[in-house]
Amino acid sequence: MKLLNKVAFVTGAAQGMGQAIVRGFVAEGAKVVAVDLNQAALAESLADLGDKVLALACNVGDGASVADAMGQAEQHFGGLDILVNNAGVGALDSFLDTPDESWARVIGVNLGGTFLCCREGARLMVKGGRKGAIINLSSTAALTGDGPSHYCASKAGVMGLTRSIARELAASGIRVNTLVPGPTNTPMMAGIPDDYMQALLKNVPLGRMCETDEIARVAVFLASEDASFMTGQNIAVNGGMAFI
C-alpha cells in the first residue's frame, strides 16, 4: 500500500489514463478527488470505488472552477498530498489552417489548466505542511513534433512548467515530475485516423500502443516514496519512440 492514507487529486478522470490512475491510486490505499468536465460520466465510471473517491465537475481551464474543486477536496478529505494533471484536449488542425479559437482552447486546457491546478494544488499542500508530489502529463509529441502545432506546443510547455516549479517548490518538500506517454490506448487516440495511427506505431520500437494501466503504475511510482529523490524530471513511457 504505497499511498496509504494519502489524498490525491486527478484531473480528466472519467476515462482513459485518468481513470486508470485513479484506480491505481485507490488500489495502493489513497483517497482520490477525481475531477472531469462531465461529472455524471465520472461518477458512473468510478461508482464501484465507493467513498474512496470524491467525483467533482471541474473545468481545469477556469481558475475559479479549479479553486472551488480544491476547496472541496480540502473540506472533504482534509488536505492534499498528490496532484495529477492528466486532463487534456487535442484537435486535428493543420498549422496553416489552425483557427485562433482552436489554438486558445488546446493551450488553455493542456498548459493553462496544468498551471492553474499546480498553483492551487501547491498552495493547498503548503498550507497543510505536506511534502507532496505533483505529476504533470505531457506527451512524446512534444519531443518528436508528430502532431498538431498547438498540441505539441502545449505539451512542451508542460515540461518547462514542471522544471520551473520543481525548483521553486523543492524548498517546501514538494516534488514535481512530468510523465511523458507515447501512443496510448485511450478514447482520445481512438479518434485518430487509422493511417496516422499506423504511421505512429511504426516509430515505436516495442511495436505496440501503451495500455493505460502501464501509465498508472508509473504514476503510482512517482507519487510514492519510491521516487522520493526525483523532481523536475521527464519520465518517458513510450516504448522507445523517443529518448529524453
Q: What is the set of active-site residues?
A: 151
User: Which residues have a Cβ under 8 Å from the Cβ of 95 and sit 6 or more positions away?
Assistant: 148, 149
User: Which residues have a Cβ under 8 Å from the Cβ of 199 and sit 6 or more positions away?
Assistant: none
CA angle 234, 34, 154 (to 5 degrees): 40
Can you say how many angstroms the Cα of residue 57 is from the centroid of all Cα atoms in its chain? 16
Can you tell me the distance from the alpha carbon of 24 to that of 218, in angstroms, rounded to the nearest whole number? 10
**Which three cell numbers, joined as nine digits, stand for 180?**
511523458
Can you say how many angstroms the Cα of residue 125 is from the centroid of all Cα atoms in its chain? 18
DSSP run (H or E) holding 153? helix 149-169
User: Which residues have a Cβ under 8 Å from the Cβ of 236 and sit 6 or more positions away?
Assistant: 140, 180, 182, 242, 243, 244
Phi, psi of 236 (to 5 degrees): -85, 130
Grid cell 482513459 — which residue? 16
